[in-house]
Amino acid sequence: MFMTPSQQRRRKRTIFLISFFIVSMIYLVVASSLLYKQMHVGVAIVCVLFVAYTVFLEKMSKRLIDYEPDKISNQPLADYLDLSNSFDWKKLLFYTIWISALLAVYLFFPSRAIRSTIVVIPIIAILTYALGIYYNSRNIYRIEMDVLYIKEYSFFRSITEIRIPISEIKKICIKGAYTIAVQYPMLILTVGEVERELRCSSHIEEIAQELYSRSIGAVK
């Protein structure tokens, strides 16, 4: 079955999310079982292996992948496109399921003190993550004729507001294209000699395709 480059990237991201979920669950089940049996050396070994796995994922998330576009259409390009972020309910749902699954493992601990403490932590984690998704959803990305308008937020304040002539974009990369659930991939634009990171999580593929069609792809 033929898949476009964007479909391949989405499939790989999905595989990474599922694999991270499975590995996390296996780690918790094994570690909890060993801890219950007071096999502390085994717990230490399992923890080291899991840390090594997360370090590997962290390195993967920092890789820059040169953007490979889908086939460029011969249709006229729109003069105005609003590709701003929106609240990512799917991301929040996945994170909630993941945290709930981890909680279910810990509920098998015999200590009531541990149970009561563990129940509070996931609630705080989910609320914190939801807050982060909300602030990320405020980021604005619009294509206005031959200009890319960007406005990004960090919590309560705007940290970036800029207009970039699309013709000045020399290179497009994706950072963290294949990464774990708690992170978003970012679009890296090389404008002149400057690299700019865009946290355009909702429409990263669409923005990359549109910018490529109007800049790099337009001169080929």
Work out the angle between the directed axes of helices 204-214 and 5-36 (0-180°, nearest 10).
Answer: 150
**How is residue 76 written in tokens?**
């006229």
Domain annotation covers residue 209: yes
**How is residue 207 written in tokens?**
């923005």
Domain annotation covers residue 163: yes
The residue among 65 and 146 whose pLDDT is bigger is 146
pLDDT in tens, 124-149: 778 888 888 888 889 999 999 899 99
What is the count of structural domains for the chain?
1
What is the reported pTM? 0.76
Pairing relation of β-strands 169-175 and 64-66? antiparallel
The pLDDT value given to residue 151: 93
Residue 205: pLDDT over 60 = yes
Least confident among 57-71, 74-88, 110-124, 158-172: 110-124
Domain annotation covers residue 104: no
Domain annotation covers residue 126: no
The pLDDT value given to residue 157: 82
Pairing relation of β-strands 169-175 and 147-154? unpaired
Domain span holding position 13: 5-85+138-219
